[in-house]
Structure 1
Amino acid sequence: MAKSMLIVSRQAPWAGPAAREALDIALAGGAFGLPLAILFLDDGVFQLQQGQAPAALEQKNLCANLQALDLFGVEAVYACQHSLHVRGLAAGTLAVEAQPLAAEAITALFNRFDEVITL
């Protein structure tokens, strides 16, 4: 049986390759049918923000990758409620649906998975 995996994405989409790598791992794992979830934490919640203009920073837009998560079988998408609040993002305005989680629920989420990858 495949081990379950939680991918924690903590980097803003423009802060380097970590944001794209987290999404790539999630898409690849989903394509192979691995039981996994992705959690956006800290500045990682900025990846979920609508209306990004990454071309100004000579970056690619991650929105297509985010929208492909469901197509690749990654249905468990979470965002830290506190991170969203501190950064002025509302759960209902995100580019993809992500379930907001309080700190206690995040701790429980970490405990549900065999492996945790943080990028």
Structure 2
Amino acid sequence: MKSMLIISRQAPWSGPGAREALDIALAGGAFDLPLGLLFLDDGVFQLPTAQQPTALQQKDLTANLQALPLFGVESLYVSARSLEERGLAPTALGLAVEVLDDAALTALIDRYDQVLTL
């Protein structure tokens, strides 16, 4: 069975990409596919706690994020550079993710058979 890395690069309020990445991860996890989820660029904005998506008439993704481990999606990663560039501290995130530097990101991507970017 081939492994897949899903790279989520969109903020939760900028379009359907963030939700689609989560939906694919949850579906893959439900079928026991070996997959990981990487939050990169504006995708890191999905991770802070105390978001208020209703102010933007958006649906809250927090429940979907919290469900990832329940569906077997436990390989969760975030780019240290993306967090730093957006002024986010790893301690402010509402999900247990592994923070990776650029070298570790390259190694991570190389480890997966397929990479899907949303």
TM-score, with normalisation over the residues of structure 2? 0.98
Report the counterpart of residue 69 of structure 1 in structure 2.
68
In structure 2, the residue corresponding to 1:88 is in which secondary structure? Answer: coil
Counterpart for residue 87 of structure 1: 86
Unpaired runs of 5+ residues, structure 1, are: none
Q: Secondary structure at the match of 1:109?
A: helix
Query: Unmatched 5+ residue regions in structure 2?
Result: none
- Distance in structure 2 (CA, Å) of the matches to 1:82 and 1:91: 11
Structure 1 equivalent of residue 6 of structure 2: 7
TM-score by length of 1: 0.97
Cα displacement (A) at 1:49? 1.1
User: Aligned-residue CA RMSD in angstroms?
Assistant: 0.6
Number of residue pairs the alignment of both structures matches: 118
Tell me the equivalent position of 2:51. Answer: 52
Offset of residue 90 of structure 1: 1.1
Deviation at 1:92, TM superposition (A): 1.7
Amino acid at match of 1:104: A
Shift of 1:88: 1.1
